[in-house]
Structure 1
Amino acid sequence: MKHDTDRTLVISLGRNGRVSYPERSWEEIEPVLRRMWEFDGRMCAWHDVRRDVQAAWRASDALASQPAGRRRAFENRAA
């Protein structure tokens, strides 16, 4: 039986993936993130979390493009 997914882990995978590969596209990095996710066989299937990981990836792009003051306000609110 697969365990429920920890939302924080899903978001972290997307955000950290974006930070680790800033010059790469989602299409290039998705297979890497998928292998990382599937390494732990206790997790739910990749297709169940793919959309959320991708959303966190894309949110990191939007956050990086914001002015520094607004970005800090968002980060403080998320913490």
Structure 2
Amino acid sequence: MKHDSDRTLVISLGRNGRASYPERPWEDIEPVLRRMWEFDGRLRAWQDVRAAVQAAWRASDDVVPPRERRALERSRAA
């Protein structure tokens, strides 16, 4: 599984990580995402996918406008 099929997993990890921790900075959540990634020893090394996961994490900011993101976060908390 150490090939391009990891791309879907990388994008999903970044996006889902952002959705799960919307108010937390990347630096706080990276260790959590890394442990999740490394749980499956068949995947490429974290250092090989880290930048792509971070890019997917940051791209999630562009998908949902800040005002809508805050409203979504408030509804989750309720």
Indicate the TM-score class for this superposition, using the shorter chain for normalisation: 0.7 to 0.9
TM-score (norm 1): 0.77
Question: What residue is the counterpart of 2:23 in the other structure?
Answer: 23
* Runs (5+) with no aligned partner, structure 1: 69-79
Q: Is the counterpart of residue 42 in structure 1 residue 42 in structure 2? A: yes
| Counterpart Cα distance in 2 of 1:39 and 1:45 | 11
Amino acid at match of 1:3: K
The count of aligned residue pairs is 67
Identity %: 72
The change in CA–CA distance for 1:21 and 1:38 in structure 2 (over 3 A counts) is: same
- What aligned pairs does 1:49-64 form with structure 2 within 5 A after superposition? 49-64=49-64
Shift of 1:67: 8.6
1:4 partnered with 2:11 = no
RMSD (Å) for aligned C-alpha atoms: 1.8
* Counterpart for residue 76 of structure 1: none
Which runs of 5 or more residues in structure 2 are unaligned? Answer: 69-78
Is the partner of 1:24 in helix, strand or coil? coil
- Runs of 4 or more consecutive aligned structure 1 residues displaced over 3 Å after TM superposition: none
Q: Show the counterpart of 2:74.
A: none
Give the aligned residue type for 2:3.
D
